Amino acid sequence: MALCYASSIVHTVHGHFCYLRGHNLNQPHESDWDLEQSAELYGLERWGNDYFGLSAEGMVTAKTLNSSVALMDIVDGMTERDMKMPVLLRIENILDAQIYRLNTAFANAIEKVNYEGRYRGVYPIKVNQQAQVVEEIARFGARFSHGLEVGSKPEMIAALAMLEEPGSLIICNGYKDQEFIDLGLQAVKLGFKCFFVIETTTELPIIIERSRVLGIKPLIGVRAKMNTQVSGHWNTTSGDRSVFGLTATQLIEVVDRLKQEDMLDCLQLLHCHLGSQIPSIQEIRSGVIEACRYYTDLMKEGASLNHIDLGGGLAVDYTGARCASEQSRNYTLDEYCEDVVETLKQTLDEQNIAHPTIVTESGRATVAYSSILLFNILDTTHFEPVSLPGVSTNEPNQLKNMRAIIEYLTADRVQECYNDAHFYRHEIRELFKRGATDLRTRSVAENLFLDIMHRIISLMATLERIPPDLANLKESLADIYYGNFSLFQSLPDIWAIGQLFPIMPIHRLNERPDRQAVIADITCDCDGKIDRFIGDPEPTNTLPLHKLIEGEEYYLGVFLVGAYQETLGDLHNLFGDTNVVSVRLGNEGGFEFVKEIHGDSIADVLSYVEYNPKEMQVRYRNTAERAVREGRITARERQQMINTFNTSMQGYTYYEKES
């Protein structure tokens, strides 16, 4: 309650301030803002998958069945533990819940349509390889025999060490050399259901040979090249030109070779992966039908198939739009499972083929929800007039003409006034360039210009048709909020592929967010910005945010970042890994910090690019010592400088506020 009270005071002050300003681009302030409006504005219920809510105090909460904790409480806990922003927050219960939901949804679908096989999920390590994540999936997933999918030797090693449940599946994709194959064969001997999925015909002879040498029968799968074209970002995984999978001819070659070696009984799995983030259920269905055709004919060829692995592709609805567009999906988890199971049953029943174990390799949908990137805002830039001094005696005519615009500015003359303001501002800039007017006059002109633009924006709200020239005016005057994070390190897909993630403040949600902003990171790179946000229904170019309060932190959260973001990130400007905190929500509303990892220190990132921190310290000390010798600094000053240098070397790479 105390908090509500405090913010409403600020509100009044803020409202008053806006009123004085008169013409900013934001709505006049109203005090009747409530939580539901925040929930609607930021779309929490559309994308949150029931994991996030709002508290009466205006804070975002993380929710599980019996518990709900404000993210701000977790932030406070981090501050007490000296965990600085930015922080990647993982909520283990959400990860567990996603595994539970996936396995339960398949179990329900199987029961509903009387499917005679079962479901076995595997988690593809590449989607988030962090030990904390894989470990938790292995631990919680054991009750469902949830396995792992690996695409390289390091991932294989991780899987072998993490999985304890012997019946669990390990699906080996990717190129496999002898060492990789030996690891897999030994895993079979240990009791794991470790499948080699053959993606190129060159792997088969090595598998056959190593199996002879080690005396262990392999479990073999084949990856079929899919013709079903899917939409979305990742569509090149499918279709004729896909680099993955065996063609019909190669499949026949594999079958013949295995037959020759008397090993056709080892071929027990068919693998089909259509791509990631498949937005449309129709495409998934048609992929399953194609997979069934391969399955049926391989059975007729004499293979002993008993697993059908449909790969990844289960999408996350990042925008909450619930439609078949790139960053969304037109189906629910239950529909996905039912459609897959039902299509398999119908198609295979027609051919009288026994129902295989269904395997899926859902990565994105498993891990996306459980991670949130939290950061604080360091500063803002507003594009608004700061002061409009009265007319002075010797103003140039251009400035007088600019002032006059305000007199004839009406809704039906916005385009004309817009043109005139640009013209006179240009004239004054030219005068300034030639030395014909001074810096103060130019400053007045720039402020007048902004004032006119904001008046135009207010008038535009009443227009039926916005002149095309003015279409982006509002965005061009949006605030810039500077966030304490690196896009390149923590949200690489925003930069690389224009990915959208839900972004919102995690507190003050019972106040009207009356600024429109874009977000810049601290890399000083013009690409290091976020200027596209989820919207309802279309994405928007600005995000509604609150005005900063002097002396108070303002925290934003980027949600659904658990998949694909952490290890793709790079060291742009040498900003390193962020701090990471894993929490587990308790049953009665509390929470517990279960794991924490301090992010890279400056010494860490420097050594990644082959600097030697010890040697650097010696060099800096020598430079300082020379200055002492030459009488430019004292020995005491030298020591101070060396201490600052060495402390900084051990510190965090991000912006640290002195506490």
Burial class (CB in 10 A: 0-12, 13-18, 19+), 182: middle
Q: Interface with ligand PLP includes 276 (CB under 6 A)?
A: yes
The b-or-e profile of 285-299 (16+ CB within 10 A means b, else e) is bbbbebbbebbbebb
Closest to 599 (Cα-Cα) out of 481, 504, 484, 482 = 484
Q: How many CA atoms lie within 13 A of 590 on its CB side?
A: 4
The residues, ordered by sequence, that sit 6+ positions from 87 with a Cβ below 8 Å of its Cβ are 75, 78, 373, 374, 375, 578, 579, 580, 581
Minimal distance in Å, beta carbon 368 to ligand PLP? 9
| Residues 455/477, Cβ–Cβ less than 8 Å | no
Phi/psi of residue 543, each to 5°? Answer: -120, 130
| Tokens 């609805």, residue located | 317
Q: To the nearest whole angstrom, how small is the minimum distance from the Cβ of residue 369 to ligand PLP? A: 13
Q: Which is nearer to ligand PLP, 163 or 504 (CB)?
A: 163
Among 250, 362, 489, 601, binds ligand PLP (CB under 6 A): 362
Q: Which of 48, 232, 312, 513 binds ligand PLP (CB under 6 A)?
A: 312
Q: What's the one-letter identity of residue 604?
A: D
| CA nearest neighbour of 140 among 168, 109, 174, 176 | 168
CB closer to ligand PLP out of 149 and 155: 149
Which residues, 131 to 190, sit near ligand PLP by CB under 6 A? 149, 173
User: Does 86 participate in binding ligand PLP (rule CB under 6 A)?
Assistant: no
Nearer to ligand PLP, 362 or 510 (CB): 362
Q: Which is nearer to ligand PLP, 145 or 601 (CB)?
A: 145
Q: What are phi and psi of 509, to 5 degrees?
A: -85, 0
CB of residue 266 to ligand PLP, shortest distance in Å: 20
Using the minimum distance from each CB to ligand PLP, give the nearer residue, 127 or 267: 127
Which residue from 193, 273, 508, 546 is in contact with ligand PLP, where contact means CB under 6 A? 273
Regarding 270 and contact with ligand PLP (CB under 6 A), the answer is no
Residue 361 lies near ligand PLP (rule: CB under 6 A): yes
Range in contact with ligand PLP (rule: CB under 6 A) among 42-50, 61-69, 358-366, 392-400: 358-366
Interface residue with ligand PLP among 356, 363, 483, 528 (CB under 6 A) is 363
If binding is defined by CB under 6 A, does position 279 make contact with ligand PLP?
no
Per-residue CA distances from 47 to 322, 335, 464, 631 (Å) = 9, 17, 32, 64
Neighbours of 223 (CB within 10 A): 23
State the nearest-atom distance from the C-beta of 189 to ligand PLP, in Å.
25
Q: Say if residues 420 and 401 touch (Cβ distance below 8 Å).
A: yes
Q: What residue number has its CB nearest to ligand PLP?
A: 312
Query: Please, what is the minimum distance in Å from the beta carbon of residue 363 to ligand PLP?
Result: 3
Window of 100-108, 355-363, 565-573, 614-622 that interacts with ligand PLP by CB under 6 A: 355-363
Distance CA 533, CA 541 (A): 6
Terminal Cα-to-Cα distance of the chain (whole angstroms): 26
Nearer to ligand PLP, 63 or 193 (CB): 193
Backbone phi, psi, residue 199, to 5° = -110, -20
- 328 interacts with ligand PLP by CB under 6 A: no
Please state, in angstroms and rounded to a whole number, the distance separating the CA atoms of residues 125 and 133: 9
Q: Please, what is the minimum distance in Å from the beta carbon of residue 276 to ligand PLP?
A: 3
- Residue 313 binds ligand PLP (CB under 6 A): yes
266 is catalytic: no
Q: Which segment (349-357, 359-367, 490-498, 594-602) binds ligand PLP by CB under 6 A? A: 359-367
- Considering only 71, 127, 133, 288, the residue that binds ligand PLP (CB under 6 A) is 127
Indicate which residue of 18, 323, 417, 524 is catalytic.
Answer: 524
| Residue 274 C-beta: closest distance to ligand PLP, Å | 9
In the complex, the smallest distance separating the C-beta of residue 315 from ligand PLP, rounded to whole angstroms, is 7
Render 383-405 in DSSP notation, one character per residue.
-S--------TT--HHHHHHHHH
Helix or strand holding residue 94 (H, E): helix 92-112
Residue number, 64 or 173, with CB nearest to ligand PLP: 173
Q: Count residues binding ligand PLP (CB under 6 A).
A: 16
What does the buried/exposed string (b/e) look like for 546-580 if buried means 16 or more CB atoms within 10 Å of the residue's CB? bbbeeeebbbbbbbbbbbbbbeebebbbbbbbbbb
| Residue 341 Cβ vs ligand PLP, minimum distance, rounded to whole Å | 18
306 vs 284: CA distance, rounded Å: 21
Whole-number Å distance between alpha carbons of 302 and 259: 9
The two three-digit tokens of residue 287, written as one number: 């992929």
Segment near ligand PLP (CB under 6 A), from 332-340, 360-368, 541-549, 580-588? 360-368
Q: Which residues contact 645 (CB under 8 A, 6 or more apart)?
A: 617, 620
Shortest Å, Cβ 370 to ligand PLP: 14
Q: Which stretch binds ligand PLP (CB under 6 A): 60-68, 207-215, 269-277, 481-489?
A: 269-277
- From candidates 184, 311, 502, 576, binder to ligand PLP by CB under 6 A: 311
Of 86 and 313, nearer to ligand PLP (C-beta) is: 313
What is the residue-wise DSSP string for 438-477?
-HHHHHHHHHHHHHHHHHHHHHHTT-SS--GGGTTHHHHT
Residue 121 within binding range of ligand PLP, rule CB under 6 A: no
Q: Is 124 in the site for ligand PLP (CB under 6 A)?
A: yes
CB of 130 to ligand PLP, least distance (A): 15
Using a 10 angstrom Cβ sphere, with 0-12 exposed, 13-18 middle and 19 or more buried, the burial of residue 153 is middle
Task: Identify which of residues 325 and 376 has a Cβ nearer to ligand PLP in the complex.
Answer: 325
Nearer to ligand PLP, 298 or 314 (CB): 314
CA dihedral angle for residue 220, residue 351, residue 338, residue 319, rounded to 10 degrees: 70
Asked if residue 359 binds ligand PLP (CB under 6 A), the reply is: no
Q: How far apart are CA 298 and CA 305, in angstroms?
A: 8
Please tell me whether residue 364 binds ligand PLP under the rule CB under 6 A: yes
Of 171, 174, 175, residue with least CA distance to 184: 171
Specify the residue, 363 or 576, whose C-beta has the smaller distance to ligand PLP: 363
By annotation, the residues acting in catalysis are: 524
Residues that bind ligand PLP (CB under 6 A): 124, 126-127, 149, 173, 273, 276-277, 311-314, 361-364
